[in-house]
Structure 1
Amino acid sequence: MYDICTIGHITLDKVVTTQSVNFMPGGTSFYFSKAIQKFDVDYRLITAVAAAELPIVEQLQKEGIEITTLPSEHTVFFENIYSQNQDHREQNVLYKADPFTKEVALLPNIDAQIYHLGPLLSDDISVELLKALAQKGMVSLDIQGFLRFVKNQKVHYTDWVDKDEALAHVSILKANEYEMEVITGQKEIRAGALYLAEMGVKEVIITLGSKGSVIYTEGNFYEIPAFKPKQVVDATGCGDTYMAGYLLKKIKGGNPQEAGEFGAAMATIKIQSSGPFSGDLQQVENILNSTLHEKIFPWEELASSISQS
C-alpha cells in the first residue's frame, strides 16, 4: 500500500521567462514526483510517454522514484511563456499523449491511500478511472487539465462538462482563482469554494499565486500565507510543488493549516530557481520558522469574507 500514487503525463516543456529559455521535462506528475522524492513517503508514479522520452523516466527511477510507464504514441509537448508577472502564463501545445482509461485502476501494485490526478488536457484521464480510483482510496485532483482544450495549438479554458458526475468522487481539489471562476462561475473565493464543496468535494484548495491560498473543509476556511521568496525565477510547477507538500503533510497527520503552510514553503523554495523543487525538509522548516520571509496573506476582501462566514 502506497501513501500517494500520482497519475499523469510527463511532458516536454519549453519554458520562456524574461530571463531565459529552457527545455526540460514537466507536467504535474514530473514536478510533483520531484518535489516529494526526498521525503519519507511511500510513493508511486503512473505515467505515459513516447519511446523517445523513456530516458526521462529512467532518470527518475535512478533517483529512487517507483514508476509504472504506459506506452504512448506521443509525449505531451507544452510551451509556457511567462511575462514579468509570474502569476500568469501563455501556453501552447504541439503534441498530445494517449489518455489514461479505467483499466489503469486494475494495474497491480497501485493501491494507495491517496490518488493524486494531474490531467494536463481535458481528455487525459477518464471520469470512469476517477470513479474507479475513488472506490480504492481518496482522490486528489488538480482541476486545471479538465478545463483546458487546444485549438490551433493554443490552450483555452472552458467549464468541465463532466463535473456533476465526477466531483462527488473527489476528496481533495486544487484550483487557482481563474480555474475556480471557470468551473464555478464565481469570482469571489469564498463563494467558489462553497460551490465546489456543495458539489461533493471534501477539501477545496484555492491557490492565489503570490497572494497565498485558501482551504475550505468541514465548514471551516483556512487562510494560508505565501512566503515571499528572495527572488522569482521560474513559477512553472509551483502549484504541483504546493500539492506535494500539502498531501505529504496530510499523510503525516497535519491539519489543513499545517499542510497548506508546508506546501506554501515548498513552493517558495521552488520559485527561487529554474526547474523542479530541489530542496529538503530542513529548508522547508527553515522557511516555516523564519522571521526573514515575509508572510503575504490573501487580500483584505477575502479575509473579510472569511471572518463574516
Structure 2
Amino acid sequence: MKKKILTIGPVTKDKIITPHHEYNHIGGASYYQICTLHQLNTSTTAIISIGENDAKMIDEFPDKKQVKTITYPQTMEYTNIYKENMTRTQLATLPPNTITPQKIENTNINLKNYGYAILSPLCPYDIPPETIKYLKEHDIETILSAQGYLRSTDSHNNVISTTWKNKEEYLKYTDTLTLDNHEMKKAFNLESISDDEVYNIISENNLKTIIITKAEQGSDIYTNNTKIHIPAIKTDKNIDPTGLGDTYIASYISKKQDTDSIYTAGLFAAITTKYKIETRGPINVNKKIIEKELEERLN
C-alpha cells in the first residue's frame, strides 16, 4: 500500500498583481502542493500554520479533513507583483509561526501512515532543523523546498535576499533539496552552477537528490552521480505563475510513487506545471489529461 504524503508549511494571505489581473487568494507552498496532490488523486495531509482568526481560509482547501492547523496570532501575508516577463517582486509580513515537533505531535497525526514529507518554509522561522530530524526519525523521506531560508524583509516589508544560516544543520536530515537556480547559487555562495559542485554538495551533506528548477530552461535533477535534464513544457497562456515550484515538486513526488524513472517523474511534473501556469490559483486539470500528454511525449 502506498504511504501518504505530508505537506508542511505556512498558508498565506496572497495578493497577486500581474499586468492583466489583480486579485486576492489563499497562498503558501503547502496550499498549492496539497491542491496539486488532490488533483492527482494522491493521498495527502497538510500541516499548516495559520492565524487564529483566519480559520475560514481552510474552506479553500480541497479536503478540509486532510488539513491539520497550528494556530498563531497572525497569518503570513505576501504580495506578488509580476511583470510581463513574469519576473517577480514581493512584499511580505513574516510572523515567526514556527512548526516544531511538539506542535506536529499536538495535531495527533499518525506518522506511520506517511512515506514523504514536503517541507516548505517561506521565511527563516518556519521549519527548524529539529522538525526535519523528527520526521526522519519516523522513517519519512524528507523533501526540503528551502526558499524561505533565503528570504527576509526590509523596513518597508520588501522581500530581500538573506544568507541561509547553519544550512548544514538542516541538510543533515534532508533527502531531497529543491531550489531554483538563483536560490541554489545564493544558498551555496556559487558564482555559477557546475555539475561537479552539485555532486560535491550532495556528497558532503549525504543527500539523495538535488532538484534545480530553471523556469523556461526546464529543470535539472541530480543524484550522487547522475544529472537528468527535464525540458520545460512551453505555453502561451501565462495566466498565473504563483505556485509553479510548489506544483512541480508535489507532482514529481506523486509520480515517483509509480515509477523508478527520474526522467518520467520530472517530465510529468513539467507537464503538470504547464497546466498550473495556465490557471489562476492551483491546477484544476484532470490527471488523465496529464498522463495522456506524458505518454505522447515519452513516445
Q: TM-score if structure 1 supplies the norm length?
A: 0.88
Report the equivalent of 1:305: none
> For the residues of structure 2 that align with 1:281 and 1:212, how far apart are their CA atoms?
21
- Asked if 1:233 is matched to 2:239, the reply is yes
> For the residues of structure 2 that align with 1:118 and 1:262, how far apart are their CA atoms?
21
Instruction: Tell me, yes or no, if the aligned pair for 2:275 and 2:285 is still in contact at 8 Å.
Output: yes
Count of paired positions = 289
| RMSD after superposition | 1.8
- Asked if 1:194 is matched to 2:193, the reply is no
Q: Which amino acid aligns with 2:73?
A: E
Q: Which amino acid aligns with 2:207?
A: V
Report the equivalent of 1:172: 176
- Asked if 1:67 is matched to 2:67, the reply is yes
Structure 1 segment 133-282 matched on structure 2, within 5 A: 133-136=135-138, 137-152=140-155, 153-186=157-190, 187-198=192-203, 199-282=205-288
Change (3 A) 1:191 1:53: farther
Change (3 A) 1:79 1:230: same
Give the CA deviation at 1:28. Answer: 0.3
Give the CA deviation at 1:25. Answer: 0.5
Give the CA deviation at 1:194. Answer: 2.1
Report the equivalent of 2:90: 91
Give the CA deviation at 1:183. Answer: 1.0
How much identity, in percent, do the aligned residues show? 27
> For the residues of structure 1 that align with 2:280 and 2:154, how far apart are their CA atoms?
28
Report the equivalent of 1:128: 130
Q: TM-score if structure 2 supplies the norm length?
A: 0.91
> For the residues of structure 1 that align with 2:97 and 2:244, how far apart are their CA atoms?
25
Change (3 A) 1:192 1:180: farther
Give the CA deviation at 1:115. Answer: 0.9
**Deviations 1:249-289, CA, capped at 9 Å, x for gaps:** 11223421111111111100000121111112122123324
> For the residues of structure 1 that align with 2:104 and 2:223, how far apart are their CA atoms?
27
Change (3 A) 1:192 1:103: farther
Q: Which amino acid aligns with 2:146?
A: I
DSSP 3-state at the match of 2:53? helix
Report the equivalent of 1:100: 99
**Deviations 1:3-52, CA, capped at 9 Å, x for gaps:** 21111111010111111111100110111111111223221100121133
> For the residues of structure 1 that align with 2:168 and 2:224, how far apart are their CA atoms?
20
Structure 2 segments unaligned to the other structure (5+ residues): none
Report the equivalent of 2:120: 118
Structure 1 segments unaligned to the other structure (5+ residues): 292-309
Deviation larger for 281-290 or 151-160: 281-290
Change (3 A) 1:2 1:67: farther
DSSP 3-state at the match of 1:6? strand
Give the CA deviation at 1:230. Answer: 3.5
Instruction: Tell me, yes or no, if the aligned pair for 1:177 and 1:189 is still in contact at 8 Å.
Output: no
**Deviations 1:51-78, CA, capped at 9 Å, x for gaps:** 33211213426x3650111111100000
Q: Which amino acid aligns with 2:278?
A: Q
Change (3 A) 1:102 1:60: same
Instruction: Tell me, yes or no, if the aligned pair for 1:78 and 1:94 is still in contact at 8 Å.
Output: yes
Q: Which amino acid aligns with 1:233?
A: I
Change (3 A) 1:161 1:269: same
**Deviations 1:92-151, CA, capped at 9 Å, x for gaps:** 113525211121343432411111101000111111111111111111010101111122
Deviation larger for 264-273 or 252-261: 252-261
**Deviations 1:216-267, CA, capped at 9 Å, x for gaps:** 0141110001111131111100100001110001122342111111111110
